[in-house]
Amino acid sequence: MLLYPILSRLSFSSSPTQICNRRCDYHTASQAIPLPRCRRKTDSVLPFTDTSEGQISPNPWKVVIFLYQLDLPFEMIVLDRTDPDVRKKDPVVTISPNGRMPIFEDPNTGVKLWESGAIIEYLLDVYDKENTLTYSTVPEKYEQNCWKHFQMSGQGPYYGQSTWFSFLHHEKLPSAQKRYEDEIHRVLGVIDGHLERTGRQWLVGDNMCFADLMFVPWNTLLSMVMFGPQFEVEWKEKFPKCYEWHQRLLQVESVMKAQEYAQEAAKSMGEYKKV
């Protein structure tokens, strides 16, 4: 996903409303509850640019969730995935040495980035000064990073390989399909076991943090694309705590907006059929 700047500057005439799940300057300790509504001031900024290959590419949509969550204006460019050389052309190759999405540009600072995790870290560092999505306390500050790295190393790559061998590989390889489907179940089990042991609703502490949101796009594909609607039943029965956690995340306003946007972007992309 690539976000390109629009030349006109956007100004907010009033402080926009967004979800705050941390004790900010407007919430005292007694007022702090999970996901309270908080009005915080957003400075006028130029729209960011994010680039995607459509709904089937979840990593760019991770970035979109955070742009919505932080009330940041943006423009998204959906690349033509039917062009085999699209990743070798500008603007992709000039920003991302790896030639993969998302790629990102912040016209307010001139920063251009690749890799969804790095982009999210940047957005949190620069545009979440009130720490609405991060913990600053120990050990939560480091626990949230554990889950961040698990999402990027454990969830994303294995889910991606499952998608490849199920839909995109030129021949059917049942052993490869089973290997990565088993890994998906393992990842769901890791989350489910953690939530069961801690008795919490979120991965870290008592509130939703950025690490929770990072898991949403790939998990959403499980029933939408990868395994079909029937997987909802299996997920709910085998990994109930994980399923409930995912359902809570689906009710977050930024997630709903990103999913709606993704569905619109995917209308012209066609359907994936299992090999």
Same domain, 104 and 216: no
pLDDT of residue 77: 80
Check pLDDT > 80 for residue 269. Answer: no
More confident residue, 250 or 78: 250
Over range 225-241, report the average pLDDT.
89
- Here the tokens at position 214 are 């990072």
More confident residue, 272 or 27: 272
Q: CATH no. for residue 214?
A: 1.20.1050.10
The tokens describing 48, both together, are: 């960011």
**Least trusted range by pLDDT, from 54-58, 108-112, 144-148:** 54-58
Mark whether 22 and 55 lie in a shared domain.
yes
Name the band, by pLDDT with cuts 50, 70 and 90, for residue 44.
very low
Domain membership of residue 132 (yes or no) is: no
Which of 98, 127, 156 is the last residue before a domain boundary? 127
CA–CA separation, 205 and 198 (whole Å): 9
Among 24-33, 171-180, 197-206, 259-268, which range has the highest average pLDDT?
A: 197-206
154 burial class (0-12, 13-18, 19+ CB within 10 angstroms)?
middle
pLDDT for 32: 31
Question: In the structure, what pLDDT confidence band is assigned to residue 114 with cuts at 50, 70 and 90?
Answer: very high
pLDDT at 230: 86
Rounded Cα–Cα distance for residues 60 and 83 (Å): 18
Q: Would you say residue 25 lies in a domain?
A: yes
Task: Report which of residues 59 and 40 the model is more confident about.
Answer: 59
Q: Is 234 exposed, middle or buried (0-12, 13-18, 19+ CB in 10 A)?
A: middle
The number of angstroms, rounded, from the C-alpha of 122 to the middle of its chain's C-alpha atoms is 14
Tell me what the mean pLDDT of segment 246-253 comes to. 98
Q: What percent of the chain has pLDDT over 70?
A: 75
Question: Looking at the structure, do residues 148 and 122 belong to the same domain, yes or no?
Answer: no
Residues 12 and 83 in one domain: yes
DSSP string of 16-71, one letter each residue: PEEE--S--TT--TTT--SS-EEE-----BPPEEEEES-TT-HHHHHHHHHHHHTT
- Has residue 134 been placed in a domain? no
* 80 in the same domain as 145: no
Determine the pLDDT at residue 9. 24
The model's pLDDT over 59-110, given as tens digits with 9 standing for 90+, comes to 999 999 999 999 999 988 877 667 777 777 777 888 989 888 899 999 999 9
Residue 187 burial (CB count, 10 A): 22
Pick the residue with more confidence: 136 or 163?
Answer: 136
Across the chain, what does the average pLDDT equal?
A: 80
Sequence-ordered list of residues with C-beta below 8 angstroms from that of 112, at least 6 positions apart, any chain? 95, 103, 104, 105, 106
DSSP string, 156-218: HHHHHHHHIIIIISSS--HHHHHHHHHHHHHHHHHHHHHHHHH--SSSSTTS--HHHHHTHHH
Q: Which of 100, 127, 154 is the last residue of a domain?
A: 127
Determine the pLDDT at residue 36: 28
Phi, psi of 103 (to 5 degrees): -125, 155
Closest Cα partner for 214 from 261, 146, 260, 266?
146
Are both 95 and 171 inside the same structural domain? no
Higher pLDDT: 210 or 90? It is: 210
Task: Determine the pLDDT at residue 47.
Answer: 59
Number of domains in the chain: 2
115 in the same domain as 150: no
Percent of the chain with pLDDT over 90: 54
Provide the CATH number for the domain around residue 98: 3.40.30.10
Instruction: Assess whether 110 and 166 both reside in one domain.
Output: no
51 and 85 co-located in one domain: yes
Q: Which domain holds residue 110?
A: 2-127
